[in-house]
Structure 1
Amino acid sequence: MNYLKLKGIILLLFIALFSSIGASGQSVNYSKLGKGLQFIAADSSFSLKFGTRFQMLYQGGNNPATNNWDDRFLIRRARLKFEGFAYSPKLEYKIELGLSNSDIGNDNPSMSNNADNIILDAVAKWNFAPHWELWVGQTKLPGNRERVVSSQKLQFVDRSLLNSRFNIDRDAGLQLHHVHNIGQVVIREIGSIAMGEGRDITINNSGGYDYTAKVEVFPFGEFEGDGAYVGGDIYREETPKLAIAAAFDYNDNASRERGQLGDFLSEQRDLSTIFVDAMFKYRGFSAMAEYADSKASEGPVVARTDAGAVEETFVTGNAFNLQGGYLFENNWEVAARYTSYNPTEVSGLRPQEQYTLGVSRYIVGHSLKVQSDVTLQDQPGRPDSYLFRLQMEVAL
């Protein structure tokens, strides 16, 4: 998608938004920072909440190969969000667009016509019966917890190495959500059928479909403010809260090296991935643990060079991530994270361990904050390297 077309779409969206605002006459809107602009039609036939946010990031690190400090400033994310209900409060919708190069950039330039990645979310959610919802469209799949947490609400500057290697990201299809209680215990179940090639693919399905199932248990009841999917204990839970989840994803005849992400490869494989995670929060303290394990039928390697080196491979193996932090009453938080990534040996990919220390200042929760972290990256056979990041988040 070229930038002229992109600008045209954005202009039309803003015209539609502010036309609706003008049509509302002298109505008063009581929105506040982080809550967006919210409107309801005079006949209550629909509602609209518009929000926007961006992240300004500085990152730098030592390059062991050159002994130089490599750094840059960038707009890590820039998003537009539209959500509300249509016809009935039981039919909700969400649209999220990504505007930065990191949001739009395609993993494989040769496939650019098949993956116009400006559209992140475009999903309708129908509450067709008590405790049941049917989701139709494109949105995040019910995979690992860290991926489902919004990039606006992370405890660190960005997600972990486990997530970047094994998350199943977004896809287009159907999701069925159910929630029920057994006493104070809350249980959520999710089933999903999706394309399997990732977000906004414009070609016919090139392999099979992707199937995901997830179960999540809250032994002590729901978190405050849906805090099971918010980094840090910014709501300061008054009683201990715990969430435990397990998910299984099966991508039939996957075409991309990480299922929904990465390069398109010359052969297909069935990818099976297991996720297990837990989140705990109590009075400013938070902890999260995740484990992922991915396997490919017939092995991950697709092609080798004449010399026998791996040329194409699916990303398989396992990873473990553990992080925790404490939010002080002045809204400063310190946090630490350990991540271990162990790819399948035959793939030729390098294992890695990361040790991260982060400091955050929440000015208006996750809507206005400054975060920084420093990471030690340890790879066998290579000198240690360090990465420093400083990021500001502004969400309206």
Structure 2
Amino acid sequence: MKIWKSRTRMAGGREVDLHIMGSRKKITTNIFVSLVCFGLVMGRVAAQQLPPTQTPYFQYGKGLEITAPDSLFQMNIRFRMQNRFAFYTPLADKFGIEEIEARVRRLRLRLDGFVYSPRLTYVIQLSFTRGDMDYDVTQFPNIIRDAFVRYQVTDRFSLGVGQTKLPGNRQRVNSSGDLQLPDRSIVNATFNIDRDFGIQAYFIENVYVLRGAISTGEGRNVLSTDAGLAYTLRGEFLPFGHFTNGGDYFEADLMREPSPKLSIGFSYSYNNNTLRTGGQLGHYLHEGRDLKTVMADFLLKYNGLSISSEYINRQTPDPLTFSPQGEVRYIRAGQGENYQVGYLMPSDFELVGRYSRLVPMPEIRQFERDVREFTLGLNKYVKGHRVKLQTDITLQQQESFLDGKDSRRQLITRFQIEVGI
């Protein structure tokens, strides 16, 4: 007798035992479920053995600091801006404001830190305002100010390569955000050696600092250079030891030094065959010129009092260059002196006074004037140099060398707020 319930006929005439097929499907299902359970168990065990998801460490101090979980990378992010009003009033027969300046003076983003080792550090600084980019001179958005990598060979000696400030006069090496007045002096504006691309070396001892650089001599963000390079040396002597928290490179005695601190500095720069009116700065000359700049400065800080001075002398054998059409462009050579004193009161208000004088060399006096400035300023430090209010008033005297003709006197009043992290 046929047992028709356990067998069926498939296409093609084949008969299949459904009972056997059901048993096989049950075995296969059990194996699959067992494998899934085994996988889940093993996955859970493996998950328990893996470390938790790693995320960077964030800290807030001087800016926003980000450190990789393995401590092989660190980046500090900072920004700052300066918003300024300035009023220019000629002292002539008709008294009144001739010009009003209202603008974002500076807007900068700074990134710094280390990669792979705390000995290998970097700094990147970008600028975004028209004046900061030197757009009127270069005719392109000159955004990159610093792009520099430095390696700490020993605790006292380091080497670096890239674009950054040269070791020139102290006021120029000071950040524009660390000044006692809204801007640097006319001496610095005319004779500083600014930034350049090249190699720099640093050596720091207990009572002295040595710095040197070999650079292109053409300033920042140039595509090529001529046959000449620039060579810069600087030495600093600190007879009473180093300043608190690097106070020799920011103005005002914010640390209120408990004992007198003094720094005396000398710099020398030789720019071979420069193509610009200020060496690393200014408009382009019609011919290359050799340029020598000698700089000397000192700084004293004690219990809220700060006294500083600078002298800069720039010389060139022949400052005048001519185009085929007879247009004249010249090296801005000569000498300048600057004296500055400030006192920081317990209320974090500061009174500042400054005297500056600029004297061009005889060969260019038909184009330049003898300039003197007398400045009185008042600051309120809310959070040190990062957040502060500044105002000053300057009497500027410009004396012509052409028999007293075309001499000028004017008052300059400025108000500035600085905010940064």
2:382 paired with 1:363: yes
Q: What does the per-residue CA deviation read over 1:84-140, in whole Å, with 9 as the maximum and x for residues that have no partner?
A: 0011000010000001111113353xx535xx5200000011001231110110000
Which residue of structure 1 lines up, in the alignment, with residue 398 of structure 2? 379
Which residue of structure 1 lines up, in the alignment, with residue 31 of structure 2? none
Which residue of structure 2 lines up, in the alignment, with residue 20 of structure 1? none
SS at match of 1:96: strand
Alpha-carbon distance between aligned partners in 2 of 1:267 and 1:68, rounded to the nearest angstrom: 42
How big is the shift at 1:28?
Answer: 6.4
Conserved? CA contact 1:207–1:255, under 8 Å: no
Alpha-carbon distance between aligned partners in 2 of 1:346 and 1:224, rounded to the nearest angstrom: 44
Q: Which residue identity is paired with 1:122?
A: A
Which residue of structure 2 lines up, in the alignment, with residue 232 of structure 1? 252
Question: Which of these residues, 134, 137, 143, is aligned with residue 118 of structure 1?
Answer: 143
Matches within 5 A, 1:204-243: 204-243=224-263
Conserved? CA contact 2:90–2:409, under 8 Å: no
SS at match of 1:379: strand
Q: Which residue identity is paired with 2:369?
A: R
Which residue of structure 1 lines up, in the alignment, with residue 70 of structure 2? 43
Q: Point out which structure has higher relative CO (alpha carbons under 8 A, 6+ apart).
A: 1
TM-score by length of 2: 0.82
Conserved? CA contact 2:59–2:66, under 8 Å: no
Alpha-carbon distance between aligned partners in 2 of 1:337 and 1:112, rounded to the nearest angstrom: 34
Alpha-carbon distance between aligned partners in 2 of 1:49 and 1:256, rounded to the nearest angstrom: 34
Q: What does the per-residue CA deviation read over 1:267-323, in whole Å, with 9 as the maximum and x for residues that have no partner?
A: 1110000000000000000010000000012x21113899x9x82110000000000
SS at match of 2:60: coil
How big is the shift at 1:30?
Answer: 3.6
Conserved? CA contact 1:305–1:311, under 8 Å: no
Q: What does the per-residue CA deviation read over 1:322-353, in whole Å, with 9 as the maximum and x for residues that have no partner?
A: 00010000000001000010001221211100
Q: Which residue identity is paired with 1:259?
A: G
SS at match of 1:103: coil
Which residue of structure 1 lines up, in the alignment, with residue 220 of structure 2? 199
SS at match of 2:245: helix
Alpha-carbon distance between aligned partners in 1 of 2:116 and 2:323, rounded to the nearest angstrom: 55
Q: Which residue identity is paired with 2:304?
A: G
Which residue of structure 2 lines up, in the alignment, with residue 345 of structure 1? 362
Which residue of structure 1 lines up, in the alignment, with residue 173 of structure 2? 148
Query: RMSD between aligned alpha carbons?
Result: 1.8
Which residue of structure 1 lines up, in the alignment, with residue 330 of structure 2? 313
Q: What does the per-residue CA deviation read over 1:193-227, in whole Å, with 9 as the maximum and x for residues that have no partner?
A: 0010101112x212410000010011000001100
Q: Which residue identity is paired with 1:334?
A: L
Conserved? CA contact 2:217–2:280, under 8 Å: yes
How big is the shift at 1:149?
Answer: 0.4
Alpha-carbon distance between aligned partners in 1 of 2:210 and 2:284, rounded to the nearest angstrom: 31
Conserved? CA contact 2:253–2:304, under 8 Å: yes
Aligned positions, number: 359
Conserved? CA contact 1:337–1:356, under 8 Å: yes
Conserved? CA contact 1:375–1:387, under 8 Å: yes
Matches within 5 A, 1:225-304: 225-297=245-317, 299-303=318-322
TM-score by length of 1: 0.87
**Highest CA radius of gyration, 1 or 2?**
2
Which residue of structure 2 lines up, in the alignment, with residue 96 of structure 1? 125
Conserved? CA contact 2:199–2:214, under 8 Å: yes
Q: Which residue identity is paired with 1:36?
A: G
Which residue of structure 1 lines up, in the alignment, with residue 37 of structure 2? none
SS at match of 2:251: coil
Q: 1:376 to 1:305 in 2, by over 3 A?
A: farther
Conserved? CA contact 1:267–1:302, under 8 Å: yes
Alpha-carbon distance between aligned partners in 1 of 2:54 and 2:76, rounded to the nearest angstrom: 14
Q: Which runs of 5+ in 1 are unaligned?
A: 1-22
Alpha-carbon distance between aligned partners in 1 of 2:134 and 2:217, rounded to the nearest angstrom: 19
Conserved? CA contact 2:57–2:68, under 8 Å: no
2:78 paired with 1:78: no
How big is the shift at 1:29?
Answer: 3.3
The list of structure 1 runs, each at least 4 consecutive aligned residues, that deviate by more than 2 angstroms after superposition, is 27-30, 63-68, 105-108, 303-306
SS at match of 2:131: helix
Alpha-carbon distance between aligned partners in 1 of 2:211 and 2:334, rounded to the nearest angstrom: 25
Alpha-carbon distance between aligned partners in 2 of 1:345 and 1:216, rounded to the nearest angstrom: 31
SS at match of 2:369: coil
Q: Which runs of 5+ in 2 are unaligned?
A: 1-52
Alpha-carbon distance between aligned partners in 2 of 1:260 and 1:45, rounded to the nearest angstrom: 36
Q: Which residue identity is paired with 2:307?
A: A
SS at match of 2:171: helix
SS at match of 2:158: strand
Alpha-carbon distance between aligned partners in 2 of 1:194 and 1:89, rounded to the nearest angstrom: 26
